[in-house]
Amino acid sequence: MIFFKSFPRIPVFLFFSLLIASSQAHSENAEIQTPAPPTIAASSYILLDFNTGKVLAENNADAKLAPASLTKIMSVYVVFREISNGHLHLEDLVNISKKAWETPGSRMFIEVGNQVKVEDLLKGVIIQSGNDASVALAEHIAGDETTFADMMNQHAKRLGMTNSHFQDSNGLPIENHYTSARDLAILTAALIKEFPDYYRWFSQKEFTYNNIIQHNRNQLLSRDGSVDGVKTGFTDAAGYCLVASALRDNMRLISVVMGASSANARATENQNLLNYGFRFFESHKLYQGKTALTEARIWKGDTTKLEAGLAEDLYATVPRNHYSDLKAVINLDKNITAPIKEGDKVGSVVVTQKDDVIANKDLIALKSVEKGNIIRRIYDGALLMIGKSNGK
């Protein structure tokens, strides 16, 4: 077991020898008090830290609600996945069907019989919230909207969106079509993490197609320079909805407000949530993924040393000014024996704050280690037997 207390921006092996004292005494005696979140006038809402998934505020977040055009976040996610796996390309041309052309509601104003690039249709969905563009993409990818909705539901299940079911690609009212604030936050986090190069389109304030300029309905893009997405929605059944995301000082928050009373209210309530999160919490990168945190003894291998670390970066969300309360322990498995494959679990990293566990991540082998020669295996086997007989 390796115990360590703080997480400065220095090489980890150098850090293991450091002792902290000045801030420790103060922080251990200070009670953690965080103000309650603001009152939000909406049917449902949630605020979470993108890097950790920690929920900072929520109410009715698992309620199954009509999502309106927030549906398009999932539609776009499916399209991005198809592009990433090579089944679709941004320059591909899409034939516009009569069904897509005549889809009611917000529109990109594509014309039946025309061919439109996938990239333009994506921008039409993201920036202009075009129902017609959503249908065109769904038909191009899956043949029809029903099959595309099946793809949406498959991805929702894979992402752990347990309170969602999609029936169309655009969010127009239809029976048995619903999602929740929590599920939308999960989806948005996945979209930002998996497709950072495409996510930038969500911050674009206007898009021109067919000589028609349309503006992004997300008012926060103009009100708050740290906001860079995500999507608005409205129907009579859903009310005014908005998923927002903002990045300040390397901390990204995602807020979801569903069922607000007006376009201005959904923007204001999201802003209130974001301001609360940034004001009273802070997010820290504790360790870098794929980087050695410790070195273990490995037995019967072609080497005696095994570097161990985390599969991905480890972040922690803490109340502001309580960063120094964090403590971490590395637990290494006993008697790690070759062969070991890269990525195999060899222990854990546990991070606590005031004795509450806030992160528990697998410690993994950063490289594979094959079996050693017969002499090494016999020698190490003998040492293990001696160790066991001595109670070690």
Out of 27, 43, 129, 164, which one is annotated catalytic? 129
Q: Is 72 noted as a catalytic residue in this protein? A: yes
What is the distance, to the nearest Å, from the Cα of residue 287 to the centroid of all Cα atoms in its chain? 18
Q: Is 226 noted as a catalytic residue in this protein? A: no
Q: Is 134 noted as a catalytic residue in this protein? A: no
Q: For residue 78, report the phi and psi dihedrals to the nearest 5 degrees.
A: -60, -45
Enter the tokens of residue 28: 């251990």
Out of 27, 43, 72, 245, which one is annotated catalytic? 72
Q: Which of 359, 64, 40, 61 is CA-nearest to residue 186?
A: 61
Residues 93, 97, 101, 104, CA torsion sign: negative
Q: Are 255 and 45 in contact (CB under 8 A)?
A: yes
Distance of alpha carbon 119 from alpha carbon 115, whole angstroms: 12
Out of 27, 44, 69, 97, which one is annotated catalytic? 69
Separation of first and last alpha carbons in the chain: 14
| Beta-carbon contacts of residue 345 (< 8 Å; ≥ 6 apart) | 333, 362, 363, 364
* SS3 category, 153: helix
Q: Are 223 and 267 in contact (CB under 8 A)?
A: yes
Mind telling me the catalytic residues? Answer: 69, 72, 129
